[in-house]
Amino acid sequence: MGGLPRVIQHETDHLNGFVYLDRMRDLSTLTHIAEWNKHWLGLREQSD
């Protein structure tokens, strides 16, 4: 799916009361981006 159709689907989902979590088959993959980077990319969060 390209950019514009994805945006349209995203906004249509909101109008119909759905969020992306409703479309996820497996919530065990849901994670914070910092955790994903740490475990999958071996990156550490940068300190300011």
Phi, psi of 42 (to 5 degrees): 75, 20
- Every domain of the chain and the residues it spans: 3-41
- DSSP 3-state of 46: coil
- Predicted confidence at residue 15, as pLDDT, reads 94
Contact 15, 9 (CB under 8 A): no
Q: What is the pLDDT along the chain (48 residues), one digit of tens a residue?
A: 579 998 998 899 999 998 888 888 887 777 787 787 787 787 666 665
